[in-house]
């Protein structure tokens, strides 16, 4: 699986956090951002999942099949989600540390908030079973699971190298 990303990736979580945590209504007459986002993600997911499955010879494997547009409900939900996102490349065997995944917002948080912030969030807001239903093994996912088991699962946010 080839996943590319621009090295100058610079998310703007401060703006996203404000909208998400304050639950601001960004709709206007005739426009629903959630419907628009869902349509865009559906198109992206359909084409990329098909391509990756062909590359991995795992046609039928589900990739990105549990999209959720649920708003962040609390500080705990926000930080747990952030930990889940940052740890996901490690969980799936794409990286041995969140810090080694170049396309991650963990770099922004490290630069802007510091390592202590990330470590504290990792300890205070553990992932536990967060996303379990999203990542359950289904038809065609055995190759991904096998690769994940072969590479092993490295430590979490606290495992900076």
Q: Residue 50 falls within a domain, yes or no?
A: yes
In a domain, 85, yes or no: yes
Alpha-carbon separation of residue 116 from 75, 119, 140 (angstroms): 17, 5, 39
1 in a structural domain: no
Residue 94 domain-assigned (yes or no)? yes
The domain total for the chain is: 1
Check if the beta carbon of residue 144 is closer than 8 Å to that of residue 56: yes
Q: What is the pLDDT along the chain (161 residues), one digit of tens a residue?
A: 334 454 443 444 454 445 444 555 554 555 567 778 878 877 887 778 788 888 888 887 765 555 566 678 889 989 999 999 999 999 888 999 999 999 899 999 999 999 999 999 999 999 988 876 655 544 444 455 555 555 554 334 444 43
User: What Cα–Cα distance (Å) separates residue 2 from each residue in 56, 61, 123?
Assistant: 10, 16, 32
109: closest CA among 20, 19, 14? 14
Residue 160 belongs to some domain of the structure: no
Q: In this predicted structure, what is the pLDDT of residue 55?
A: 87
Distance CA 140, CA 57 (A): 9
- Does 8 fall in a domain? no
List C-alpha distances in Å: 104 to 28, 45, 48, 83, 98.
Answer: 31, 19, 19, 11, 7
pLDDT at residue number 133: 61
- Note whether residue 6 is domain-resident: no
- pLDDT of 2 reads 38
Give the domain extent around 70.
Answer: 13-151
Residue 156 resides in a domain: no
pLDDT for the residue numbered 129: 80
């Amino acid at each position: 699986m080839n996943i590319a990303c621009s090295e100058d990736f610079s998310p703007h979580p401060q703006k996203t956090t404000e909208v998400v945590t304050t639950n601001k209504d960004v709709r206007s007459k005739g426009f629903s951002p959630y419907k628009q986002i869902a349509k865009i993600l559906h198109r992206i997911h359909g084409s990329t999942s098909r391509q990756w499955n062909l590359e991995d010879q795992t046609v039928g494997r589900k990739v990105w099949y549990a999209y959720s547009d649920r708003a962040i409900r609390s500080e705990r939900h926000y930080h747990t989600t952030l930990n889940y996102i940052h740890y996901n490349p490690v969980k799936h065997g794409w990286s041995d540390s969140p810090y080694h995944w170049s396309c991650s917002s963990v770099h922004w948080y490290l630069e802007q908030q510091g390592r202590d912030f990330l470590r504290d969030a990792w300890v205070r807001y553990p992932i536990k079973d967060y996303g379990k239903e999203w990542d359950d093994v289904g038809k065609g996912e055995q190759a991904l699971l096998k690769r994940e088991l072969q590479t092993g699962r490295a430590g979490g946010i606290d495992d900076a190298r």
